Amino acid sequence: MTKHIKTLLTAFLFLSFLSLNHAAIRVKAPAAGEKAEHSVETPAHEKAETAAAENWLSRKWDKLKKRIERRKARWEKRQARRKAARGEGEGGNALWHSLAFILGIIFLAGGIILGIAAFSNPLGGFFHLLAGVLVVAGIVMILYAALHTSGA
């Protein structure tokens, strides 16, 4: 197994070295006194076209940024309205409602499990009573959370 890991590590390092070497060769700039081989002076009319294209592109980019900002503002406004409609203001009440729901589920499941386990227990009556209390408490908490979040 170590032989395979060493082989994979060697191959990875070799490929990494090759890719870095290739990238360094491609990015290498000409020396200070030399001119680049493929550098050609841009004619004046192409420079004007390039400036016009850059102006057009910057205007389009500005429009796009404004549109994105407007959509983001609309989305935030919509989210604020939804929160207000659900009653989830700055108080963070939704956390407590969901906590009540989660605790209700836990109490309900615990009561059911305890009720089933009480059949094989010598103190079955006590555990059945405790299981019943847990189930009722779980149902009450679930109903409280459901009614409170629905606005009833």
Provide the pLDDT for residue 31. 58
Provide the pLDDT for residue 89. 55
Higher local confidence (pLDDT), 34 or 54: 54
Determine the Cα–Cα distance for residues 60 and 44; give it in Å rounded to an integer. Answer: 24
Rg (alpha carbons) of the chain, rounded to whole number: 35
Does residue 94 have a pLDDT over 70? Answer: no
Higher local confidence (pLDDT), 149 or 130: 130
| Every domain of the chain and the residues it spans | 47-86, 90-152
Residue 141 contacts residue 104 (beta carbons within 8 Å): yes
User: Which of 17-21, 23-27, 49-53, 128-132 is the most confident on average?
Assistant: 128-132
Distances in Å between the Cα of 11 and the Cα atoms of 4, 8, 17, 23 are 10, 5, 10, 18
Provide the pLDDT for residue 14. 72
The reply to whether the predicted model has a pTM over 0.85 is no
Other Cβ atoms closer than 10 A to 86: 14
